[in-house]
Each structure stands twice: as C-alpha cells, then as structure tokens.
Structure 1
C-alpha cells in the first residue's frame, strides 16, 4: 500500500511538472527523470498521466471555453456584442492588439503547447517501457497521444496560421515532437500540415485494434482492470475520431478525395455513434440531450462546464456581460423553424425575464447522474456528413447525406433545386453553436463577407488581418 501511495504521489508531481512553464518543463533535471521513470513503471500511473493531458485540454484556456464557446465563436460573429461597454467588444471586432485579447490568445497558445509537450513526454517515456502494458494497451495509448498531438497542432494552425486556401506557404507555427529545451522553428503552414497528417497516420496504425471497433463507446464500467482501455471511448481519442480528424484536416488542405474517403471511414459503423433519439432530445423536458451526445465522436469531460457556462450565458447577466445571439439574427440562422431541435432545445427565454433567448446548450441538468453530464463535444458525426456533401461529386448523394442530418434535427428534405454549398453554410451555422467550428469553416473557405453578429442584418468584411491571430509576444520576442 505504501508503494502504491508513493507512486501516486510521484504521478501527481509529474503532472504538476507538466503544468509549469514550457521551458521549465522541457528542462528535465536528474531528479525529474527519476520521478518520470518511477511513474512509467506502473500501469495505473501511466494511465493517470494520460488522463492528466485530457484534463489540461478541458481547462478554460483551451477546449473548456476559449476554443469552443467564447473566443472562436466571437471571431465567427456568433453573439450580439455592444459596440461599447462590453468586455467582449474587442474580441468580436478582431482587435488583436487589445491587451485583454492578447492575453486571452496568449493563454490559449501557452496552454496548448504545455499540453503538446506533455504529450511528447508521454510518447517518449511510454515508448521506452517494456512489460508494463500488453502490446494492445501500449499501442492504444500511443495512438491516443499521437492523435492528440495532431489535434492540438491543427487547431493552433487554424487559429494562428495563415488562410490556408490562399497563403499555405506562409509561416505559421512550430511543430513540437520532442520534449527538449530547444525552440523549434516556425514552419510554413503546408509543412505543419505534413506533420499533422504524419502523426494521424501513426495514430491510425497504433489504434488499429481499438476496442471501440468491437465494443463501441462502452459506457458500462466493469471494474475488471480493462476499463481504462475499453470504456468511454468517445471521451478519449479513438480510431473513428482519428479518421474524422483526418477528414477535417484533408478538407482544410482541399484534398477532397482524401477527405471524402476518411469521412466515410469515420462513420462506416453506424452502431458506434447512433443518431440521438427524439425522446432524449425533445420528449425529456427535464434533461433534454441538447448536445446530441450519442453522435459525439470525440469530446472531453469538462468538470467546470457549468460554472464556466454561468459566467457567460446565464440569463441574470447584464446585456453587456452575457453572450447571446441577436434575436433577429438567430431567427434567420434557424430560418424561423421551431421544429429544429437545435433551436427549440438550446435557445430559451431565461427565467430572469430577458426579452431574448439565451444559450442553454451547456446548462446543467437536473439529474446529476447522467453519463452525458459535463461532456464537451469536439468532433461530431454530422461534420462527416457535411464533409461528404461538400466533397461528393454526385448531387443526389450530396442531398441524401444532408437530408439525413436534417431528418435527425427535425427538418424536412431539401428540394432538388437547392445550391448545396449554400445549404451547407446554413447547416454549419446551425449545428456547431458553442463548438468553435464556424469561424474555422469561414477561414478555410476564405469567405470575405460574413453575417454581422451584432446587427439584425448586414455583413462584416473578413480578410487576413481578421482571420489570422498574431503569435503571442511570449513566442516571438524570445526568437
């Protein structure tokens, strides 16, 4: 028992080391190496270190807020932000020289690279172990880590990198693969993309025997020693999430044939991520499944979801504090269709008496035992249908996959005469509220005019200055 307690203490210290500044973390002293060796000599502590990385990603500077429902959504003009008097104004106007904006994006950058460096340490250390995990377990954890490294770098590229469609040769970000105290060069965007794709190929190979393929997401804990490897696979990087991320990456690179192939592979087994039942979404008035949890291919357990939610979406906040959509703009997005599940379950009039709807997607549930509680969506299956619709040459097939999504959102089929790309943009606007994907959709296509979130009508002009977040001073002044 004493040995077990000591190992857990060592594991906690290693996670603490990963949470310190990047350069301090990379500067591994002899005593730190001893701790590391101890931690990676025990299966339970190896698992806990990987869990620590997922916990880092769920923090507010990353996917627990900034990259999901605040910064990237403000960039994409999701909310009605007053021109003066709101702490969010500089974010919504893409004022990247504003001190508060600079600080927020610097925190995202620094925390992302801390997570990357922790992942690199995990890959390096786990690769050196032998006899602690069986081959399938070791491969699975390595596959998750390579997938996470690609996932984080890709979002940094999408946020801080150039508009890839027109400026792929411009410098973007560094790509870290080793836990060394040496700054890596800032690479052109196309070279970063090569490294992302290479990591995803490794992840796919290591996850070839992922239990998600045979046992699905598997939310049933058995306490048989295999739970860490076999359960809650949608809360960890898994084989199908890697294929989905490949589809997302290839489409960003405008390699539509590769994106199409990966997207189809990602949803090839419909039993793993089934469509969310109508009863769970609409009939259950007390605990509606507003996130369509069955369909999330990869997400995180966000323990601070509801406290963070209340700080930005709670109806008791003032008009200058709350993040809410402009009423007429919201009606336009959902085409005034009250049957759309994404509208009627998520956008409600708060009890505070406000005369406009506020965002309830991440509001807490009455039943605190529900598995979907605190589940932060990062990749969902509907995106794969949208990718197929965009990349497929046959219009009949494009409409079939779009209509499949619409059917599962309470909408009727589209007419055969519609313009598919127009309908796709509408679906991106409806589907990904609070998930940060709309801004990246606009940037990928280099759309030069997008709806003004702070007005009932009209657009704002988008260009490189608005789409590209400058690298933080902490990164540039040390080079």
Structure 2
C-alpha cells in the first residue's frame, strides 16, 4: 500500500462561477507547508473536497470502471461474441482475473479507490489541524461527506475483492480499512470486521449530516443525509440485516417527493431525453468525458463501433427480458431499434443530448429511488406490501400494473435489476449477495443456453499484486 500512496490525487481548485476553471496541486506527504496552505483557507479546503468528488467521477472509478463496464460485464449484461469475433472485453466475461488486461484494470480500481480514501482522510485531518478556518456547520458537513465517501469506497472494494458475504466466508480476510491520513500499511481484515467499520462510518456520517436535508439538483452530486440513509439500506441488505435495510429504505420512500419519478415528457423530449431518470437520483457523479470518443459513451456503446469494441446486450436476450412489458420506458428510451449498420439494438442510456446545458448531461447515477423500492420489496415480510413496492417502480416505467402486476419474488426482483441498472453496475453485486450459483450467459440467446456456474473463483476478484508486492 506504500506504493499506492505515492500517487495522491490532485486537489482541485474551482472557481464557484458559471464557468469554473480548475488547476491542480499535488500534495506530497512531505510537503507540509503546502498542506498547511490548503487547509488554512476555507476556499482551498472546499476545493480539496471538490477534488475528491472529481476523482470519483473519473474513468478509473465510478466514471467507467465501477459502473459502465466491469461489474456489468461480470454480470453477463453484454454480448461478448459476434460470430467468430470475440469482444475486446471477452477475458473479463470469462473471469480471467490473472490475465494482464483484467489484472491491470482491477489494480487501477484498487489504487484509485484507496487514493480517494486517503485524500478523504487527509481532508478530515487537515480540518482537525486547522480549527476555526471553516464555520462549525461547514466543518461538520465536510467531515460527514468525507466519512460517507470513505464508507462507500470501502464497501465497493469489499463487494469486488471481498469474499461471498452471505455465507460462512464472511469471516475470511478481505481488504484493509484505512482511516489514517498518514502513510501506513493497514492489515487485511475479516470481511465482517470491514462491514462493521463501514456501518460505523455511515452512522457517524448520518449524525454529522443529520441537518443536511435540503435537496436541489446540485445536491444530488454531494453526500448528504439521504445519501447516507440510502447507503445504509444497501449495506444492511448486503450484510443480511433485512429489518434495518427496510427501515433505511423507507426513509427515502417516505421522502420520495424529493426524488420525483421521471416525467414521460422529459423522457421523450426531442434531442434531450432524460434517459438516466435523473430526477430520481439520490447520488450521482459527473464525468465530463462521458461524451468523448476516448472515455465514455462513444468509446463503449456507440453504434459506430466495431462489433468487438461495442458493449451491447444480445438482441434475443433483450426481446425475452421485455417480453411481458414491451411498453417499458427503459426499453423504448434506452435502446436504439435501428442503429445504422448494426443488426442489433445499441445502448443509449448515456448518449449525449443536444442541449449541453442540461443538468443531467455527463451524469452517471450511483443511487436511485428505484433501488430503495426494490430493497423494500425484498425485505418486506408481507407479500402484498412487498408486491406493492415492486410494482410501484414498474408502474413508473410505463407498465400497466392493473393488467400486469407481479409478485415480489426473487425472479421478478432480479429481472428488475437487469432492466434498471444496466450501465450502473449493480447486477453483479446482486448475484454475489444472493449467492446465485448459475447465471445466464450474456453471449447466448436464452437463459438455458450454456449458463455460467458461479462461485468464489468468479465472484471474488484477487487482491492486486500492486498491494501484495509492496507490503
């Protein structure tokens, strides 16, 4: 881990105006004078926090690796074979974690996640060493945001690199948990201890952000009270505490007016459709390269890409998935039926819009209201109430539930995860959490055609060599 911390993220200094300009300052551990300069200024401290948010939105983390690509490829969301041609991502879909391509990418996630965690810790330490620079309320809020970031990053590292949690393996060694602003080598902890530390951090963040409940669209890119409650719902479900998960999910459901369901008008707005359902977003990140050819939609999903370069579901699988609900807005708005030279539908969720001032442009959702309803449906003991939660989301996706209501079974909830979170990276974690032993093969035309047997070898990504070699 020593090597990881040699590459600290740069602090971002942003002017809070309509056109923000940024510059970067590398803060090396030995440069105490520079560090003191940063945290002795309220503006610079705020810019340092913004720099961590910028880091979360890069391709190395939630701007691509942890959303658009790796988890969804592992979950078999995309077709990896086109006749005799294999996708350039084929090795990922075969869980070949030791191959150079995959090992380098998972090491990239590991390194950048721990960099972001370290910088969150440095923000907390910097504020501690410079009391009075920020107002009491601002200091409390910044501290809550940093701790919540730290918890979320550790949780996603645990979901990728940790053991299958809903099993006896929950006591196996998993990942380090770093709360220090100094360069230290932290021990690998049992997964259940890491989970306890995540829950402790979320509890601290909840207390610190308890008054941060004002929601504007811009606040959906910052950690706040509702973000923390949504994370608590997700984490509690992963650790198997359904009662606590339901209680946390209900906080969001009871305040759902703050996260209104997408309006069909804006979904169908010519040239500017809100395909990510941004009004429902609880937390999102901004990736200003999402519309670029080198990093984002045009690199991953564009119909102009070669078959072996594009990420697209197999057409027959899409048809089968939406067979009972073809009116589903996720089908009609997020896939292109006539993609030029392609003979299959291509994925449009992150296609650019004409109006570049749209606030949801270049945004990737990390937490949405729909997930809270799915969690409630899974955790509610009354089957009628559970079904109501599940069908509420389906109804808000254009499905007539008076004639097409479904029970909140595991199969129906899993189907919703496939539809709702494509390009958001949550299906793989659903499979891992539920210990799903066999999953459909994304390159085959049906669920029964050569399904993939899953276990620890597929669900648990090995700790990268960059961590092992530098201890």
The answer, yes or no, to whether TM exceeds 0.5 is yes
5 Å matches for 1:21-420? 25=28, 28-29=29-30, 32-82=31-81, 85-166=86-167, 167-210=169-212, 213=213, 215-217=214-216, 219=217, 232-282=218-268, 284-307=269-292, 308-335=296-323, 337-349=325-337, 351-413=339-401, 418=407, 420=409
Report deviation, 1:84: 5.2
Q: TM-score, normalised by structure 2?
A: 0.91
* Residues 75-111 of structure 1: CA deviation (Å, up to 9, x unaligned): 0001000275432110111111211000011111101
2-side partners of 1:87 and 1:194: how far apart?
38
Report deviation, 1:14: 7.2
Q: TM-score, normalised by structure 1?
A: 0.89
In the alignment, which residue of structure 2 is the partner of 1:228?
none
CA contact (8 A) 2:260 2:280 kept: yes
* Residues 352-398 of structure 1: CA deviation (Å, up to 9, x unaligned): 32111101100100111111111110001110000001111111110
Mark the CA change 1:417 to 1:350 in structure 2 (over 3 Å): closer, same or farther: closer
In the alignment, which residue of structure 2 is the partner of 1:224?
none
In the alignment, which residue of structure 2 is the partner of 1:223?
none
Q: Does 1:438 align with 2:427?
A: yes
CA contact (8 A) 2:78 2:443 kept: yes
Structure 1: give runs of 5+ residues left out of the alignment.
1-6, 18-24, 220-231
CA contact (8 A) 1:87 1:320 kept: yes
2-side partners of 1:165 and 1:435: how far apart?
22
RMSD (Å) for aligned C-alpha atoms: 1.9
Report deviation, 1:127: 2.5
What is the DSSP-based 3-state SS (H/G/I as helix, E as strand, rest coil) of the residue aligned with 2:398? coil
CA contact (8 A) 1:403 1:412 kept: no
* Residues 57-81 of structure 1: CA deviation (Å, up to 9, x unaligned): 1111110101101111100001000
* Count of paired positions: 444
- Which structure features the higher share of helix residues? 1
5 Å matches for 1:444-463? 444-457=433-446, 458=449, 459-463=451-455
Structure 2: give runs of 5+ residues left out of the alignment.
1-11, 15-20
1-side partners of 2:327 and 2:405: how far apart?
21
Report deviation, 1:267: 3.0
Report deviation, 1:312: 1.1
What is the DSSP-based 3-state SS (H/G/I as helix, E as strand, rest coil) of the residue aligned with 2:47? helix
Mark the CA change 1:8 to 1:285 in structure 2 (over 3 Å): closer, same or farther: closer
1-side partners of 2:266 and 2:131: how far apart?
45
